[in-house]
Amino acid sequence: MSALPPRDEALGLELAALAADLAWPSTPAIAQAVGRELAGDGARARGPWGRGWRPARRALVLGVLAALLVIGLVAGIGFALGGLRIVFGGPPPGSPLPPELVAQRGFGQRTDLDAAAGRLGGLLLPSDPALGAPDHVYHDDRTGAVTLAWGTRPGLPADPASGLGVVVTEFRAQITSGTFTKVLHEGALLERASVAGHPAYWVAGGEHFFFFQRPNGAPLESTIRLVGTALIWEADGLTLRIEGVREMADAIRIGESMAVRSAP
């Protein structure tokens, strides 16, 4: 848990102490009910790994596995069927990201590059051939941020859990350097860098929170929930952030390849 200002810390402790005095509804015997439910379901015999399956279910699962095996073998060599070539891989570029991931990362609503450029009044787009066009484009009405996301690219693997590789976020705000370093969690490293002559920050390790300031001075909070790195800089009135690139030099190369895509 992050440190609170002293006055909040004291008040928090008072609230925590108050918790013991509250008239909570008595806690039901949930463990017992869960145990009964699982035992009734035959879970005791099967366990979470599914041992002791009923024969019909086992046959069904084995059938599905066999079908997947055949499909996998076919996929390995490609499969021509009536002129249709079936190739297996990740979701095709442009497929929506899982809603849970979008909500968790606060990406906002799905959009396209023209609309995103229109909303930001111009967008910076990497022209690095290693990336190509983004697989996903999102716009968050709340923060005004545009997010461009790529899946796996050669030399730039995606996170197997989220399927996300490089993520570029752009919004109209200024980095408030006064609070910048204060919100880095212990263990996170902050390094000064430069992207095409613009001062930049390279952050690696742990989870960080960044605070930005809109052009009108209002604070805008942005959370980076990464287990990796982020390169942050300002250019053309935009604050840009690249996540998901392991090496600073690669992130800078992508940053320096960014070219303006004007609003339609």
Partner 1 sequence: MEGRPLTDSELIERAKGGDLAAYEELVRRYEQVAFRAAYLVCGDADEARDAAQEGFLRAWRALAGFRSGAEPRPWLMRIVANAARNRRRGSGRRAHLAMRIAQDRPSDGAAPSPEVAVLATERRERLLAAVNQLSEDDRTVLGLRWFADLGEAEIAAALGVPRGTVKSRLSRAMGRLRLQLGQEEERP
- Token readout for 171 is 């919004």
15 touching partner 1, by CB under 8 A: yes
14 touching partner 1, by CB under 8 A: yes
51 touching partner 1, by CB under 8 A: yes
**Residue choice 3, 6, 23, 85 for contact with partner 1 (CB under 8 A):** 23
How far apart are CB 72 and partner 1 at their closest, in Å?
Answer: 22
How far apart are CB 13 and partner 1 at their closest, in Å?
Answer: 9
- Three-state secondary-structure class, residue 29: coil
Q: Could you give the C-alpha distances from 20 to 15, 29, 31, 33, 224, in angstroms and in order?
A: 9, 19, 22, 25, 35
In DSSP terms, 138 is beta-bridged to: 110, 147
Q: Decide if 173 contacts 146 (C-beta within 8 A).
A: no
Q: Could you give the C-alpha distances from 25 to 22, 29, 40, 52, 245, in angstroms and in order?
A: 9, 12, 27, 39, 49
Alpha-carbon gap, residue 245 to 264, rounded angstroms: 30
The count of C-alpha atoms lying within 13 angstroms of the C-alpha of 243, restricted to the half-sphere facing its C-beta, is 19
**Residue choice 68, 72, 133, 221 for contact with partner 1 (CB under 8 A):** 221
81 touching partner 1, by CB under 8 A: no
Instruction: Show contacts with partner 1 in window 222-261 (CB under 8 A).
Output: 222-223, 225
Q: Mask of contacts with partner 1, 152-181, x by CB under 8 A?
A: ------------------------------
61 touching partner 1, by CB under 8 A: no
Dihedral through CA 36, CA 41, CA 45, CA 51, nearest 10?
-140
Part of the chain binding partner 1 (CB under 8 A), chosen from 32-40, 55-63, 172-180, 236-244: 32-40
- Token readout for 198 is 């613009």
Binding residues vs partner 1 (CB under 8 A): 1-2, 4, 7-8, 11-12, 14-16, 18-25, 27-35, 37-39, 43-44, 46-49, 51, 103-106, 207, 209, 221-223, 225
